[in-house]
Amino acid sequence: MHFGIDTYALSVDILDRFMATLKVRPKFLECLAVGCLYIAAKCKEEDDTISITPEFVIDCNASCSANELLRMERLILEKFDWFADFVTAVDFLQIYFALLLLKVDHQPEESREKYIELEVKLASCLQYHRLASFKPRILALALISLEFEKQQAHESEMNTDWLVSISHLQQLAKVESDALVACRDLIVRSLPSYKVVRLELSDLTFISHAYKPLKPLLNLSDRPTYADVVCGRTFPLVQ
């Protein structure tokens, strides 16, 4: 239907919120999903891109009627006191990405391509119901941190700025380390395109300033994961 990723994210969020508070019979699920998309489109899209109700039902290939969709729309809006334009993970992704661009040299076209790639991966994350348990600000930050880590794995030298930048965003958004790590791990298990990269010992020299509890490692084979770093886990000192 040529709607944006923000419309998709909002429709999923409305659906999750509604089903978290009310039990829905299976026969009404399709109409509920179409209703959530209809409301999200009205919040995010231009008016001339949204079909009138009967045509919208046809475009969605839905079995419900236009009147049933209108009744469902009203039911959803009444449940949320007629406000459904919630903040989604896409909103946080846009904010995080804009803040990161302030810290690095970038080409506009490259930045645009990278952001589109992040949007596609976020859309994939929204398809996994277990990830819906994480707040939008956590999901967006976890995805960006994984993308930084994956990109770093293809470079010859570790650029420690990525971890410092993610830590800065984590503090701004007030995201707990345990929640961030848990969300990252679930994304890795859900999306085959990610593989956790372990930090090298030589890449941890900068951490002494930001992460006091982290100690030198016993040997080169013991390398901390991202979870170890952000949670400040300690290791035996080198003898």
Asked if 74 and 103 sit in the same domain, the reply is no
User: Average model confidence (pLDDT) for the chain?
Assistant: 77
Asked if 152 and 102 sit in the same domain, the reply is yes
The pLDDT score that the predictor gives to residue 141 is: 92
Asked if 67 and 96 sit in the same domain, the reply is no
Mean of pLDDT values over 8-19:
92
Asked if 37 and 95 sit in the same domain, the reply is no
Q: Total structural domains in the chain?
A: 2
Amino acid at 58: I
Asked if 180 and 151 sit in the same domain, the reply is yes
Note whether residue 186 is domain-resident.
yes
For residue 57, what is the domain's CATH number? 1.10.472.10
Note whether residue 209 is domain-resident.
no
Note whether residue 114 is domain-resident.
yes
Least-confidence region, from 72-76, 86-90, 233-237: 233-237
Note whether residue 84 is domain-resident.
no
The pLDDT score that the predictor gives to residue 107 is: 62
Note whether residue 117 is domain-resident.
yes
Q: Which domain holds residue 123?
A: 89-199
Query: Are residues 213 and 234 in contact, defined by beta-carbon separation less than 8 angstroms?
Result: yes
Given pLDDT bands bounded at 50, 70 and 90, which one contains residue 238? very low
Asked if 75 and 149 sit in the same domain, the reply is no
Asked if 74 and 96 sit in the same domain, the reply is no
Pick the most confident of 52-56, 150-154, 215-219: 52-56
Asked if 144 and 46 sit in the same domain, the reply is no
Query: Are residues 122 and 187 in contact, defined by beta-carbon separation less than 8 angstroms?
Result: no
Asked if 96 and 193 sit in the same domain, the reply is yes
pLDDT tens-digit map of 89-147: 999 999 988 888 877 666 666 778 888 888 888 988 888 888 888 999 999 999 988 88
Asked if 37 and 74 sit in the same domain, the reply is yes
Q: In angstroms, rounded to a whole number, what is the distance separating the alpha carbons of residues 82 and 78?
A: 6
- Got the DSSP string for 143-193? HHHHHHHHHHHTSSS--THHHHHHHHHHHHHT--HHHHHHHHHHHHHH-TT
Note whether residue 58 is domain-resident.
yes
The pLDDT score that the predictor gives to residue 154 is: 57
Asked if 122 and 148 sit in the same domain, the reply is yes
Mean of pLDDT values over 207-236:
44
Per the model's pLDDT, the better-predicted residue between 77 and 208 turns out to be 77
Note whether residue 162 is domain-resident.
yes
Note whether residue 215 is domain-resident.
no
